[in-house]
Structure 1
Amino acid sequence: MFRWLLLALVIVGLAPGTFVRTRTGLRSDVAVVTVTPVSERGGVTGALTLTGAWELRSTHGWFGGFSALVGDGAKGLIAGSDRGWLLDLDLTGAAPRPVPASFRFVGIRTSARKEVVDLESLARDSATGTLWAAFENANLVMRADPDGSRTIRRPPEMAGWSRNSGPEAMVRLNDGRFLILAEGSQGGGPEDRPGLLFAGDPVASAAPLAFRLVSGADYDPVDATQLPDGRVLILLRRVEYAIPARFDTAIMVADPAAIRAGEAWQGEIIQRLSGAMFGDNFEGIAFVPAPGDPARGAVWLIADDNFSVFQRSLLVTFDWEG
């Protein structure tokens, strides 16, 4: 009985807006975002070197909940939240800088009183600036074109995915294919994180190739990004049920060339992150190439604060030496 009570309290604690962040103001208010360096450096083991950490803060009532991250060329990042907002980050200075007035709502209104807002993953075409967002609960993908038009599709292959553990990771590969991973297991095993590989734009493509990701050790995939050599970094997360909840993060590298229809796709964990700042809920990952050498660059992570006073909107970066 105590276990169930503890689990219920943790779930309530993870529910956005609890313990206790009260929304104030209007959606149309301009978000003033501050970036504060974080000195913590513990909890990191593996191949990558942690080179920077910052906390993002704003009094805007809908600020936080960042669950997706994608590179915006060599100069920036776009962060997406599970309340349907985007934030542009400028990386041209010594520290990341929020682009003024860039915090904007991109959720999908389906009726006068209903919206699709649970944005969990982003992908981008660097040549055109086209942006894709995948939403849980509805298990749909939205394409936002540079001219402001939007196209929405619910791929039938995602219809059976859990409403709360749907398309959590999405990446547009360099050859134009799209990789989408579900967070939730369909059968409870470590080889049962469903994945789909689309030949092109998931809003327009024919039936994708279906496979399974071996995430292992109770980890769930929460985001992905492609490296210059074609491999993919997959951000993995698991929850330790406590009050407050604690999170354990890992980074896996896997080769999309090894994906086969109906088979298990495996990778290698190259980084483990736990304790200190990495007890927070990291849900977004993006690779940003170095301006002078695209084979090198930086791996960025962003944390979802779940709109909880116990958690933070953290942004951290690691060197990628190629």
Structure 2
Amino acid sequence: MPRLNLATRLGLWALVFLSLAASAPTPRRKPAPDPERIAIETTLIREAGIAAQFLTPLAFRGCLHMRAGDDRFGGVSGLAVEGKERVIAITDRAHWLRFRVLWGADGSLAGVADAEIAALRDERGVALQSRRLTDSEGLARQGDGSYAVSFEQRHLLRLYAGPDPLRAAGMVIAELDQTAAIEDNGGLEALATAPDGALLAGEERGAAPSLWRLPAPISPAPKTPPKLAQATALRRSFGYALTGLDGLNDGGFVALYRFFAPGLGARAELRFWPPGDFWGERLALLNPPFPVDNFEAIAAIETAEETLILIASDDNFSASQRTLLCAFVWTRR
């Protein structure tokens, strides 16, 4: 038998190696770790001059500047509440935040406590990884205690069911038709649950932004997720974009809009959408000296005595911006 030269032998060994590698089982990725405690420091912002800016049915109840020595903290993009004290938030890098809100004797924000952080998971329970899959933006609590999350870039909705959303797998429940003319970073920014259990997802930017709807009952999708249906076109004030939405017990919604322009900085607008009216009335226009930042998240707390509105800002993980949590009391007519 003729002897093989060195190049031929190396080539044969390479083929053997590649064959073995191809036949080896793919290692299973580990489930995401359990929630971890995180220390959040707060500074209360409560200047008397700020309250004087409101000529609306809102009363200011303070802002908290929130900070944490953890690279995962920041980018708050969605907000939900369980009662008056328990807050669940998401960041736009696919993390959960959960904490208790502390209220002072006068009804103003006083601090936060018992904070936890955890990665959002995919349908296998593995932490979401690539940037295209981790741009989580909107958060909505369902009547059964589960949570829906909307994502930009790959425009879809995931459902986190079970007793603890921070430990739940995220099952895809709907996708946006990829033929829709939506920017990667201007998609399903706002998310809320309607009175009938349907999900409404608000588009942030575009020439004619829309509100999209997923009818109830909300459940994990089959292999081919259903497409969101276009519900209505969205109105907006010039230069503003819808960033947050939350449903109210009467069938209406509170909506948060963001504005930013070089030289002018950030602004925010709060609106009330009555049932069936997706424009409604302005509740507040937030300009300096109010501590305005990149407000993206909103949640309403309805009690027998009052309606509280919380808004939170996305600091873009930038040292020049802040994570703010602000509170208002809304006197409803």
State TM-score, norm by structure 1. Answer: 0.77
Q: 1:163 and 1:54 mapped to 2: Cα distance?
A: 31
Equivalent residue letter for 1:214: R
Residues 218 and 136 of structure 1: CA distance in aligned 2, closer, same or farther (over 3 Å): same
* Preserved contact between residue 174 and residue 227 of structure 2 (Cα < 8 Å): no
Q: 1:232 and 1:119 mapped to 2: Cα distance?
A: 21
* Preserved contact between residue 101 and residue 113 of structure 2 (Cα < 8 Å): no
Q: 1:59 and 1:227 mapped to 2: Cα distance?
A: 35
SS of equivalent residue, structure 2 residue 243: strand
Q: What corresponds to 2:315 in structure 1? A: 305
Asked which structure has the greater RCO (Cα within 8 Å, sep 6+), the reply is 1
Q: What corresponds to 1:152 in structure 2? A: 172
* Deviation (angstroms), 1:225: 1.1
* Deviation (angstroms), 1:155: 1.8
From 255, 267, 283, give the equivalent of 1:234.
255
Residues 112 and 280 of structure 1: CA distance in aligned 2, closer, same or farther (over 3 Å): closer
The one-character-per-residue Cα deviations of 1:36-70 (angstroms, maximum 9, x if unpaired) are 21134535453311112111110001111111111
* Deviation (angstroms), 1:316: 0.5
Q: What corresponds to 2:118 in structure 1? A: 104
* Preserved contact between residue 137 and residue 162 of structure 1 (Cα < 8 Å): yes
Q: What corresponds to 2:184 in structure 1? A: 163
Q: Which has the larger radius of gyration?
A: 2
Aligned residue pair count: 280
Q: 1:314 and 1:140 mapped to 2: Cα distance?
A: 27
> Are 2:300 and 1:287 equivalent residues in the alignment?
yes
SS of equivalent residue, structure 2 residue 249: coil
Q: What corresponds to 1:247 in structure 2? A: 266
Q: 1:256 and 1:74 mapped to 2: Cα distance?
A: 24
Q: 2:170 and 2:35 mapped to 1: Cα distance?
A: 21
* Deviation (angstroms), 1:30: 4.1
> Are 2:293 and 1:276 equivalent residues in the alignment?
no
State TM-score, norm by structure 2. Answer: 0.75
Q: What corresponds to 1:123 in structure 2? A: 140
Q: 1:246 and 1:134 mapped to 2: Cα distance?
A: 27
* Preserved contact between residue 45 and residue 272 of structure 1 (Cα < 8 Å): no
Equivalent residue letter for 2:296: E
* Deviation (angstroms), 1:31: 2.1
Residues 159 and 45 of structure 1: CA distance in aligned 2, closer, same or farther (over 3 Å): farther
> Are 2:42 and 1:31 equivalent residues in the alignment?
no
Q: 1:44 and 1:27 mapped to 2: Cα distance?
A: 42
Residues 78 and 143 of structure 1: CA distance in aligned 2, closer, same or farther (over 3 Å): same
From 87, 91, 94, give the equivalent of 1:77.
87
Q: 1:307 and 1:202 mapped to 2: Cα distance?
A: 33
Percent identity over the alignment?
23
SS of equivalent residue, structure 1 residue 53: strand
Q: 1:165 and 1:310 mapped to 2: Cα distance?
A: 23
For structure 2, list consecutive stretches of 5 or more residues without a partner in the other structure: 1-32
The one-character-per-residue Cα deviations of 1:174-217 (angstroms, maximum 9, x if unpaired) are 221211110011x2xxxx21111222238556753431011121
Q: 1:306 and 1:53 mapped to 2: Cα distance?
A: 18
Q: What corresponds to 1:12 in structure 2? A: none
Q: What corresponds to 2:12 in structure 1? A: none
Q: How does 1:173-322 map to 2 (within 5 A)?
A: 173-185=194-206, 187=207, 192-200=208-216, 201=218, 204=221, 208-242=229-263, 246-258=265-277, 265-290=278-303, 293=304, 296-322=306-332
Equivalent residue letter for 1:145: A
Q: 1:234 and 1:246 mapped to 2: Cα distance?
A: 20
* Deviation (angstroms), 1:86: 1.4
> Are 2:151 and 1:135 equivalent residues in the alignment?
yes
* Deviation (angstroms), 1:232: 1.0
* Preserved contact between residue 75 and residue 314 of structure 2 (Cα < 8 Å): yes
Q: 2:72 and 2:189 mapped to 1: Cα distance?
A: 20
* Preserved contact between residue 285 and residue 301 of structure 1 (Cα < 8 Å): yes
* Deviation (angstroms), 1:230: 1.8
